[in-house]
Amino acid sequence: MSRAGLDIHHPFIGLACKSCFTLITDHDHLLSKAFRGHAGKGALFSLVFNVSLDPPCILLMNTGAYTIQEFACSTCRSYLGWKIIRAHEEPEKWKEGKCVLELELLVARGETVAGRHQLRKYRSSLAVAGESGHRRAFSDDSQGARERPLGPRPRGLPSNTNRMEYRKSMIYVGQG
């Protein structure tokens, strides 16, 4: 794993929670790598398992507003990402029911020697972006704008102790 995030190229069997190594999803369910989360790089998956969902809330991104449910590992309760329940913009409806996983919070399971070679190849593709000196990885599906949550972002990721303060800042939608 590099500082820029988890390498999600072939071959790996699955992605697991970084805290307790519980299997969360596998490569067969990967839809897009062109997403961002609060912790950095993210990816869109059609299916995740071994997670528990929080109540729905609204998240504003560059592509519009979404009703989402954050989820955590069902074993250790570590935050992992969110599920898109409803896209409020018509062109984004295809994302409904899909899950965004924050790659910084996951580890690859079943990595092979070829997987380590891919990781070295990925690290060498990192480039310096602009004057800020931030390292960005180039993705083969980086068409269009990246998903970036709008609004204030917490430093790092909310831990279990300050998670309530973070969640209070989000707008909750009543269930009905």
List of residues 6+ apart from 132 with CB closer than 8 A? none
**Domain for residue 1, yes or no?**
no
**Domain for residue 81, yes or no?**
yes
Where residue 165 sits, what CATH number does that domain have?
2.170.150.20
Number of domain units in the chain: 1
φ, ψ (nearest 5 deg) of residue 128 = -85, 130
The pTM of this model reads: 0.58
**Structural domain span for residue 52:** 14-172
CA atoms of 163 and 174, how far apart (whole Å)? 20
**Domain for residue 163, yes or no?**
yes
Cα distances from 53 to residues 72, 110, 141, 163, in angstroms, run 7, 26, 28, 14
**Domain for residue 130, yes or no?**
yes
**Domain for residue 101, yes or no?**
yes
**Domain for residue 48, yes or no?**
yes
**pLDDT by position in tens, the chain (length 176):** 444 455 555 555 789 999 999 999 988 899 999 998 888 899 999 999 999 999 999 999 888 999 999 999 999 999 999 999 999 999 999 999 999 999 999 998 875 334 444 554 554 444 444 444 444 444 444 444 555 555 555 555 444 545 555 454 444 444 44
> What's the pLDDT score for residue 171?
47
**Domain for residue 2, yes or no?**
no
**Domain for residue 125, yes or no?**
yes
Is 42 in contact with 51 (CB distance < 8 Å)?
no
> What's the pLDDT score for residue 99?
96
For 133, the 3-state DSSP assignment is coil
